[in-house]
Structure 1
Amino acid sequence: LLTQLDLNGRRDHLARHKIARLTSRTITNEKVLFSKLDSQPPTVPVLDLQEYAVGTVCAAVPLTAGSAVGCLALSLPLEHAHRLRSAADMLNRRAAPVVLSLAI
């Protein structure tokens, strides 16, 4: 979600949803987080390797409908981390048509 927002949108979101250290890998520094987010296109899934929960890998797949932004999340046990990229890519390819069909 944050990759799709501009700087003011990110700051507004974080003002309403405080960053909490969930694991030792959680990025809690706003400047570091924004730098990481800026290093990739807003249309590409963001991968999380034990940042949300120890023993879990996650992906956030961006969704955009007009000016509204959102994401779909996917979590896998750490032992399936090798499947995360391909699962996120598949979800990214198939998410938009499904969301559009639900909106109609």
Structure 2
Amino acid sequence: RPKVNEWAEFRRTAHASAVGKCLLAQLDHDGRMGHLSRHKTARLTSRTITNEKVLFHKLDSQPPTVPMLDLQEYAVGTVCAAVPITAGATVGCLALSMPLEHAHRLRQAADALNRRAAPVLLSLSL
């Protein structure tokens, strides 16, 4: 499948994408605030979370072992999932995207990605 069309600069849209939210979730409160002070939240679609308090609650209430989802928050017609990978103090993630018509497969694909994240991380650390 083709990846989501990245039509906007990543730092400005982290609050709306699965990848960005996954990375923001791995930062502490000050790190998140620092990012959002430099890159204000903007509405990209009707589903984009622009309220910082709501965004932080979503990030804090999601267990780190559960994939972060983007259900048309970054781009209409696209759904995405991301799972965290960390090596020491370095944060990262693995992600996937698919067209909205395949949204029914997103959870299963995200779970498979999550299961395969640890072996990928191990191969990167070698």
Any conservation in 1 of the 2:77–2:100 contact (CA below 8 Å)? yes
Letter in 1 for 2:111: D
Q: TM-score normalised to the size of structure 2?
A: 0.75
**1:103 equivalent in structure 2:** 125
Q: Which of 35, 42, 45 is the equivalent residue of 2:57?
A: 35
Shift, 1:13, TM fit: 2.3
Judge conservation of contact 1:55–1:77 (CA < 8 Å) in 2: yes
Aligned: 1:77 with 2:77: no
SS in 2 for 1:84: helix
Structure 2 counterparts to residues 14-93 of structure 1, below 5 A = 14-93=36-115
- Whether the aligned pair in 2 keeps the contact of 1:22 and 1:52 (CA below 8 Å) is yes
Flag the 1:68–1:43 CA change in 2: closer, same or farther, 3 A.
farther
Quick check: 22-31 or 68-77, which moved more? 68-77
Instruction: Decide whether the 8 Å contact of 1:3 with 1:41 is kept in 2.
Output: no
Specify which structure has the bigger relative contact order, considering alpha-carbon pairs within 8 angstroms and separated by 6 or more residues: 2
% identical equivalent positions: 83
**What does residue 29 of structure 2 align with?**
7
Unaligned 5+ segments in structure 1 are none
Supply the RMSD in Å over aligned alpha carbons: 1.4
Q: Return the TM-score normalized by structure 1.
A: 0.89
Q: Which has the higher strand share?
A: 1
Q: Report how far residue 103 of structure 1 moved.
A: 3.1
| Equivalent position SS for 2:91 | strand
- Structure 2 alignment gaps of length 5 or more: 1-22
